[in-house]
Amino acid sequence: MGELNKEVVDLVWKRPGSNGVSASLFRRWTQGLVFSETEHTALEQFEGGPCAVIAPIQVWTIRWPRQAHIFLDSTFRKSPDRHSAELPSLLLFIRVLYAALADEDLGFERFHSILQKRIVKSLSELREEVVSLYETWKGRCGVLFFLYSVILTKGIVNIRNEIEDTTEPLVDPVYGHGSQSLVNLLVTGHAVSNVWDGDRECSGMKLHGIHNQTSVGFLTLMESLRYCKVGAFLKSPKFPIWILGSETHLSVFFAKEMCLVAPESPSEQARRVFQTFDPEDNGFIPDSLLEEVMKALDLVSEPEYYVSLMKSKLDPEGLGIVLLAPFLLEFFPDQDTGIPDSFPVYHYNGLKQSNHNERVEYVQGTALVLGLEDPMVRTDDTPVKRCLQTKWPYIELLWNTDRSPSLN
């Protein structure tokens, strides 16, 4: 195995002290980029694991169904500087000796020993290379070719500098699940380990999050269980497409209503800023932070009078806290979000066994977004719904199929 290939393997698979990657786990990841026979823009996933790569590619085939290569362009435009979007000077492309791949069932070591690298210097050259190797992408290892290409283009050192815990590989060597760093790398171009907005300090350590509005979003069931808090940059992307995360799998939810991702309203901005001062998602801040929040939102923040007046008004019982809801009501009352009451929605799950009749197809439905919970409009409490409620708390879903789509 070449030195460069070893570095890629260590980054993706290796955890210190582990016994390597089992044959069964590696086999789950050796699949091509194959589209469903019944839904021609939907990628199929054969076994658990590679959804961390397949789902991010899927969101771009949804956005540009006839131009999936735009995903490559978008990903490879991410420069080594984590806050820049300039094109790197070189684009790296992984391929393998195709004859060897066709003639034998390659194991982990053999596969990585025969990988080849090709350097391309422009997006047009990259597109030509991608098209010329179309059958290779569809073949046994297309998912890994794509993943390794992204890693080498971004740069191994740059990725390690963004990952919070460099001892944790991008793919769990025991269970085969992709890490949050891997998902963030393919969605945002940055392999940060967290989903909140901006950076946070914890015990003297800087923990990196998401710094800009993303093109496509991410929501997770883990937030409904209060294990994490997804920030506004991932919850409110530029396009109405979201990767949905469960405990073990990634699927995709999307709509055609661009008003769902309209520019951030003043009240939405206020909620986001308020929550940066409430990192534990308690729904309140100490009243001592009110002045800082008001300054961050360019509200009148003269401390001697106005801030003191607002403290008294927002904390009439003198508890020393300011709640989010009264804060928004005071400064941003009756703001229309512009979201329609109902709109068509779609869900994608790449696993055949998770689809009706084991056919990978988009499941269509109608979303109802209510201002408050309405006991007269109550649908099943499913994982998909609980995941979406982290963005739309009072959403209800009416699917066109006999059963609700699966998050797993």
**Annotated catalytic residue 249:** yes
Q: Taking the alpha carbons of 363, 368, 372, 375 in that order, is the dihedral positive or negative?
A: negative
Give me the catalytic one of 112, 177, 190, 249: 249
**Annotated catalytic residue 190:** no
Query: Tokens in use for 327?
Result: 């804060």
Q: Note the pTM of the prediction, 2 decimals.
A: 0.81
Tens digits of pLDDT across the chain (408 residues): 566 678 888 999 986 666 778 889 999 999 999 999 999 999 999 999 999 999 999 998 887 665 544 444 444 544 444 433 333 445 555 555 544 555 456 788 888 888 888 888 888 888 888 888 888 888 888 999 999 999 998 999 999 999 988 888 999 988 899 999 999 999 999 999 999 998 888 888 889 999 999 999 999 999 999 888 899 899 999 999 999 999 999 999 999 988 888 777 788 788 888 988 987 778 899 999 999 999 999 987 677 788 999 999 999 999 999 999 899 999 988 766 667 888 999 999 999 999 988 999 999 999 998 765 555 556 678 999 999 999 988 889 999 998 899 999
3-class secondary structure, 165: coil
- DSSP per position, 295-363: HHTT----IIIIIHHHHHHH-TT--SEEEHHHHHHHHSTT------SEEEEEEE--BGGGSGGG---PE
Q: Is the CB of residue 246 less than 8 Å from the CB of residue 221?
A: yes
Write phi, then psi, for 359 (nearest 5 degrees).
-120, 125
Give me the catalytic one of 51, 112, 141, 208: 51
